[in-house]
Structure 1
Amino acid sequence: MGANVLKVAGLKVAYGGIKAVKGIDLEVNKGELVTLIGANGAGKTTTLKAITGTLPDCKVEGTISYMGQSLKGSKSFHLVEKKLAMVPEGRGVFTRMTIHENLMMGAYTRDDKAGVEADIAKWYDIFPRLKERSAQLAGTLSGGEQQMLAMARALMCHPELLLLDEPSMGLSPIMVDKIFEVIRNVSKEGITILLVEQNAKLALEAADRGYVMDSGQITMTGNADDMLHDPRVKAAYLGE
């Protein structure tokens, strides 16, 4: 694996007197698929929002570096220009725009028209349901279809780093399998991924490395396959 794409050091996030993240360190190296697992309320989504600068008013301490440069003060809408894309929890599609328009929005930083059209065709091949409904408003899609669209839209900018927040949440088992198949394939293409996911088994099976977050702290880290077979992880997150 190559150099750091993302490095988080001493990250603390506090909402008033509530400490949501308590001084965590994590890193993602070029080409890695790293997963951050943990129970609801552990601070996983807060961590992603701190990285992308999308938190509401709160106190944030620590350093966040992307491709060797600090993200401090970066506006979230500039991150796509830096080739950092996020698929937020709850999908975040543009509900009053069509599928095709959503995909075009994902490519708004690009000016290679032929390349954009080729990428749209690629995602329509991967997600045929999107192709069938390309002129349909995104708000009328099922949760699974919206998740497909959100992922395809994020990947339209050719990100160096893709952040995924709970991509399996609320989806049928068949749809979850499809989404994770795409995540694994995207990783094989060399795109660096940080995956936040409650389905610890699927996440660790897909990942190279993992972090466990509990009550705002990193309590364990290591090789994903080792963690999958760790008795503590099995007992706490795999129901074994």
Structure 2
Amino acid sequence: MSENVLKVAGLTVAYGGIKAVKGIDLEVNRGELVALIGANGAGKTTTLKAITGTLPPCKVDGTVTYMGASLKGDQSFHLVEKKLAMVPEGRGVFTRMSIQENLMMGAYTRDDKAGIEADIAKWYDVFPRLKERAQQMAGTLSGGEQQMLAMARALMSHPKLLLLDEPSMGLSPIMVDKIFEVIRNVSAEGITILLVEQNAKLALQAAHRGYVMDSGLITMTGNAQDMLVDPRVKAAYLGE
């Protein structure tokens, strides 16, 4: 698993005189599930938005390389064509479209009609609650149902890299378990994932490798299973 899918080098993000991200390096190799953990406000979401070019006006420096090519200057809507998909914090579903229409939007870069229909059927099998509500407006769904839909929609594009931003946020424990089951299954299919998550224990249990971010800096990195038993991680992020 040595081939870089994503490589971030010297990334800084500054809003005026305030540096939210302070020169970080991270990489995600083909087939890996990498967790980026840290306290609220550490700069994790800002990092994902810098990767995808979805930040509000600010000063961004450093390099972001995806599949060996720079993403500098790419507009975010072109990333899906390059097989890079993101499930943003807050889900970002199309609230005035049905579940079915949301899934179709996820596949807008594809033209294999039979494959698209097969994938919709697949995600309805994974998330039966979506199938039951296929024609319901996405904005009327619960938070957990919207998270299911956002993940399924992103996966409809057949991404080579999936970015997940706080997928467990605001969900019930049962729903969190379901979402992480799907994340592990998607990873097992070979899809490369960068997971930003405040629930450090769940994230590291699912991941191959992890990074800890604190106050805009990467303060630790390593094998995820080793990090789970590291006293510093346990004390700061696992409540142990």
TM-score, length of structure 2 as denominator length? 1.00
| Alignment partner, residue 50 of structure 2 | 50
- Where 2:219 maps in the other structure, the secondary structure is strand
| Alignment partner, residue 215 of structure 1 | 215
Please give the residue correspondences for 1:94-173 in structure 2 after superposition, counting only pairs within 5 Å: 94-173=94-173
Q: Quick one: distance in 1 between partners of 2:66 and 2:44?
A: 18
For 1:121-178, what per-residue CA distance to the aligned partner results, in whole angstroms no more than 9, with x for missing partners?
0000000000000000000000000000000000000000000000000000000000
Alignment root-mean-square deviation, CA: 0.3
How far is 1:108 from its partner? 0.1
Please give the residue correspondences for 1:13-32 in structure 2 after superposition, counting only pairs within 5 Å: 13-32=13-32
- Where 2:81 maps in the other structure, the secondary structure is coil
- Where 1:80 maps in the other structure, the secondary structure is helix
Q: Quick one: distance in 1 between partners of 2:61 and 2:230?
A: 32
Identity over aligned pairs, percent? 89
How far is 1:2 from its partner? 3.6
How far is 1:51 from its partner? 0.2
| Alignment partner, residue 175 of structure 1 | 175
Residue pair 1:20, 1:46 contacting (<8 A) in 2 also: yes
Unaligned runs of 5+ in 1: none
Q: Quick one: distance in 1 between partners of 2:2 and 2:227?
A: 22
Q: Quick one: distance in 1 between partners of 2:2 and 2:79?
A: 21
| Alignment partner, residue 82 of structure 1 | 82
Number of aligned positions between the proteins? 240
Q: Quick one: distance in 2 between partners of 1:239 and 1:37?
A: 14
Moved over 2 A (4+): none
Unaligned runs of 5+ in 2: none
Residue pair 1:2, 1:31 contacting (<8 A) in 2 also: no
How far is 1:180 from its partner? 0.1
Q: Given the alignment of the two structures, is residue 59 of structure 1 paired with residue 45 of structure 2, yes or no? A: no
Q: Quick one: distance in 2 between partners of 1:72 and 1:216?
A: 21
Q: Quick one: distance in 2 between partners of 1:118 and 1:236?
A: 44
Residue pair 1:5, 1:29 contacting (<8 A) in 2 also: yes
Q: Quick one: distance in 2 between partners of 1:30 and 1:18?
A: 34
For 1:23-60, what per-residue CA distance to the aligned partner results, in whole angstroms no more than 9, with x for missing partners?
00000000000000000000000000000000000000
Q: Quick one: distance in 1 between partners of 2:43 and 2:66?
A: 20
